[in-house]
Homo-oligomer: A and B are copies of this chain.
Amino acid sequence: MFLSVDASDERPLYKQVIDGVKELIARGVLREGMPLPSVRQVAGDLGVNLNTIAVAYRELQDEGFVNVRHGAGAVVAARSAQGAGEGELRKPLRTALTGFVLARFSDREIVALVRQELEWLRQKGGTL
C-alpha cells in the first residue's frame, strides 16, 4: 500500500495512519467510492497491531471520510460528508506557521513552502 508509518515520528501510529489516509484522499489517490485496503492487510504491511489500524479506520468513519460497511470493508465517503469547519482548521495552521516564524523563515519563504505543499497535494491521481 501507499501508507507508511515512521517510528521516529512523534505522532502515535494510529494518528499517522489517519493523516496518511486523509492525505491520499486530498491528493485524489483515493477517490469517492474506492475501497480502502483491509485492516488486516494494512496492519500486515506496516507491521503494526490490527487494533491500531481498526482504531484509525473507526476515527476516519466518525469524521465522515470513509464508510465502513460490515463485512465489506471500508470505502471512501462522498465528498459532501467530508471536511471540517474553518474554525478547527486554523489552530493547527497557526501552530505550524509559528514554528516557521520562530525559525526565522521570511513570509515569502513560508508562502512558497505552502504553495509547494499545496501543489503536491493537488496533483490529481498522485504517485499511485
Contacts and interface: CB of A to CB of B under 8 A. Distances in A.
Contacts of A94: 23, 117, 121
A104 B79 contact: yes
B98 A83 contact: no
A96 B98 contact: no
B107 A118 contact: yes
Contacts of A88: 99
A117 to B, nearest CB: 5
A79 B19 CA distance: 30
B83 A102 contact: yes
Interface in A1-19: 7-9, 12-13, 19
A118 to B, nearest CB: 5
A9 B93 contact: no
Interface in A90-106: 90-105
Looking at A85, A95, A111, the one whose CB has the most chain B CB atoms below 10 A away is: A95
7 contacts: A86-B103, A86-B105, A89-B96, A89-B99, A93-B114, A93-B117, A96-B96
